[in-house]
Amino acid sequence: MRECWKALKNLSYGVYVVSAIRGEEPNREMNAMTVRMMTQVSTRPPRVALAVAKNRLTHDFICESGQFAVSILSQGQEMMAGHFGLRSGRNANKLLEVEYFTAQTGAPILNDCCAFFECRLEASHDMGNCTLFVAELINGGTSEGGFPENAKPRNAPLLYRESDYFG
């Protein structure tokens, strides 16, 4: 099994901030977290699969709302990945000093990511310490369109492999 763990360290991932909401105004709550375990699983309709640890606050928000948004981080946003990955939303409002907008799901989308999409949950699968969420894309944008005018989308995505970022 040790060799399997060593082999897994060679996988490369994109770096994403996944956000979700809970409740209705005026008591709506928002949270976001950094993830790397996400992949496209279908093109017609477009679907992704996302693994989220069950003890994460965003996990609860996705389960309750049935939807989420994904901001694909850009090269140079390593600090942003740490900002959303190293603190719990139970103890801090991670969105307080970050520029974002909302669209169809109401979940926050980072202004300066390289692309985004919003998803509607279709299925959930228990995977031990994580839940694998399968969701259909319902909205999206890239630097070529889909962002509001005040956003500043970037082009190249941030990648991650074995405790290090690269572009």
pLDDT in tens, 81-118: 999 998 888 888 999 989 999 999 999 999 989 999 99
- β-pair partners for 39: 49
In degrees, rounded to 5, the angle at the alpha carbon of residue 70 between the alpha carbons of residues 67 and 73 is 170
SS3 121: strand
Confidence of residue 145 (pLDDT cuts 50, 70, 90): confident
Q: Please give the domain boundaries of the chain with CATH numbers for all domains.
A: 14-156 (2.30.110.10)
Q: What is the pTM of this model?
A: 0.91
